[in-house]
Amino acid sequence: MVPSLHSPGPQTILIFDDDFSNLTLLSMILQDGSFSVLEADHWEKAQNLLEHNKVDLILLDIVLADLDGYQICKKIKNHQKFQDIPVIFITSLDEPFDEEKGFMAGAVDYLRKPIHPDILKARVITHLNIKQQREQLEAQNLELAEKTLAYKQEAQRRRNAEEELMVAYSSLEDRVKERTAELREVNQEMANQIKRRRRSEQALLKSKEALTRQNIRLEELNAALKVLLDKRDKDQKEFEERIVTQVKQLVDPYIRKLQQTKLNESQSVQLDILSTNLDEIVSPFTRNIFALELQLTPVEIQIANLVKQGKSSKEIAELVCITPGTVDLHRKNIRKKFGISNKKVNLRTYLLSFQN
């Protein structure tokens, strides 16, 4: 049984024989649709056909008129373009030496005449399949070589990248170490600052608490002092009022009675002195009462006393060292505070009336 041809298209076979009957017979056997046949009966024609056709296999006779088949086969095998074309010798030479010589010349097979069509086709198809497989293997080898080269280049590229990465990694590690050391120092400094700040905060808190306590104590003392001062002012006022009241009720009536009696000049003078001195003693209390009640300023109180003594505005201005205009202004304010503004009341008489 003839094996099947693996190649999809018809394969081209060159039959090289100078015997017309062989050429014709081989062509008839092989021209069954699977093969395209080219015929040559001498080397020049065969070479021309090889140059201009894609020949897949050569059937070659050995005994030829000029060059023999061995020489032709060697020429083919030495030709860069044709060397991969399988050559099968077909001959009627039957010596083992001839067959060996054929293989030594580069043939892939050796067929003896008479030709058996099925054996011829089987051998031809087998060698065409081998050739096709070899070509596929070569293509695969080429592809594999390209892939291997690409892989090697890729591997080299990766090695280079890895080396660069290692360098970068090493540099990065150094930077990380430096940065870590810096961060550690900064952290330590920050921790120290935090500690100092906490200590300061605690100290501030303690100071604040102490101040708060002190403040509370001061407020309490202020309150107590205020109470004491109020009490003292109240007591002083009561004391002054009592002195004035007692002088007016218990001393003044008797002085007036004495003044209405007949006294000698000396006695009269002494009584006046007594009365004046007593007024002098009591008048500050009375003045204070007025001042407190009328809210007179110290200057107004001073001016009021000088008015009461009968001093003119000019004299008061000289005594207090202010202008007479200013004295008049204070006199107006005093009148206003006593509620006698725009009234025909003498200020001195009004002030003396309080003394009495």
CA 190 to chain centre: 20
Least distance in angstroms from the C-beta of 127 to other proteins: 21
Task: Provide the minimum distance between the beta carbon of 104 and other proteins in the complex, in angstroms, as a whole number.
Answer: 20
Does the footprint of other proteins cover residue 19 (CB under 8 A)?
A: yes
Torsion of the alpha carbons at 133, 135, 139 and 142, rounded to the nearest 10:
110
- For the bound state, the minimum distance from the C-beta of residue 45 to other proteins, rounded and expressed in Å, comes to 17
Radius of gyration of the chain measured on its C-alpha atoms: 75
Please tell me the distance from the alpha carbon of residue 205 to that of residue 208, in angstroms, as a whole number. 5
Least Cβ distance, residue 54 to other proteins (angstroms)? 27
Q: Which stretch binds other proteins (CB under 8 A): 87-95, 176-184, 226-234, 272-280?
A: 87-95
As a whole number of angstroms, the distance between CA 16 and CA 39 comes to: 6
**Interface stretch with other proteins, choices 19-27, 204-212, 216-224, 273-281 (CB under 8 A):** 19-27
**Contact region with other proteins (CB under 8 A), list: 90-98, 162-170, 221-229, 348-356:** 90-98
**Closest CB to other proteins among 24 and 188?**
24
The residue (of 110 and 338) whose beta carbon lies closer to other proteins is: 110
Chain residues 315-344 in contact with other proteins, contact rule CB under 8 A: none
Place of tokens 């592809």: 143
Q: Which one of 2, 7, 18, 79 is in contact with other proteins (CB under 8 A)? A: 18
Give 273-317 as a DSSP string: HHHHHHHHHHHHHHHHHHHHHHT--HHHHHHHHHHHTT--HHHHH
Least CB distance to other proteins at residue 129 (A) = 23
Q: Give the x/- contact pattern for other proteins in 36-75, rule: CB under 8 A.
A: ---------------------------x-x----------
| Residues 106-165 interacting with other proteins (rule: CB under 8 A) | 113-117
CB 255 within 8 A of CB 275: yes
Q: How far is the CB of 95 from other proteins (least distance, A)?
A: 10
73 and 108 Cβ atoms separated by less than 8 Å: no
CA distance linking residue 154 with residue 151, whole number of Å: 5
| Least spacing, CB of residue 60 vs other proteins, in Å | 14
- Could you tell me the two tokens for 224? 């107590």
Residue 45 vs 237, nearer CB to other proteins: 45
Rounded CA separation 111/61 (Å)? 10
Query: Is 59 within 8 Å of 85 (Cβ atoms)?
Result: no
What is the binding site for other proteins (CB under 8 A)?
Answer: 18-25, 28-29, 63, 65, 91-93, 113-117
